[in-house]
Amino acid sequence: MGANILERLRHRIEVYTKEESKTEFGECTYLYRRNSYIWAEITPVRGKEEAIDGKSVRADVTHKITVRMGAIKEPRNDMYFIYKGQKYEVLYFMPQYRYNDLIIFYCKLILETEEDY
């Protein structure tokens, strides 16, 4: 991996994974827990706005998050990342073929308040 790639991994993000849990009634449920902090590069890929009923606007923004291969032990589509209070929900991921030790996550920016997660 080139030195310039390491310089680009300058965003410290939180990684949340879905874990199985039991309720007080013994039912199976899933909770998201912070797994780790890692260094990443966050790059906006595309965005669009559309007007919806009630004079509201819906924004759809996609980002590319690049991390080192060993930073996330088991990458999955049901993960999400937090960076500066913004939630990035994983849509899909793939290895970066130019550098074999990087993974690219394509994520959707979810605009919520911190109390929502």
CA distance 51 to 92: 27
What pTM was estimated for this model as a whole? 0.79
3-state class (DSSP) for residue 54: coil
What does the block give as tokens for 33?
A: 């827990």
Q: CA angle, corner 46, sides to 45 and 49, nearest 5?
A: 155
The ranges assigned to domains in the chain are 3-116
Q: Which CATH architecture has domain 3-116?
A: Beta Barrel (2.40)
CA distance 18 to 8: 28
What does the block give as tokens for 54?
A: 């009630």
pLDDT per residue as tens digits for the range 2-25: 557 778 899 999 999 999 888 888
For residue 104, give the H/E element and its range.
Answer: strand 102-110
pLDDT band, residue 114 (cuts 50/70/90): low
pLDDT at position 75 is: 92
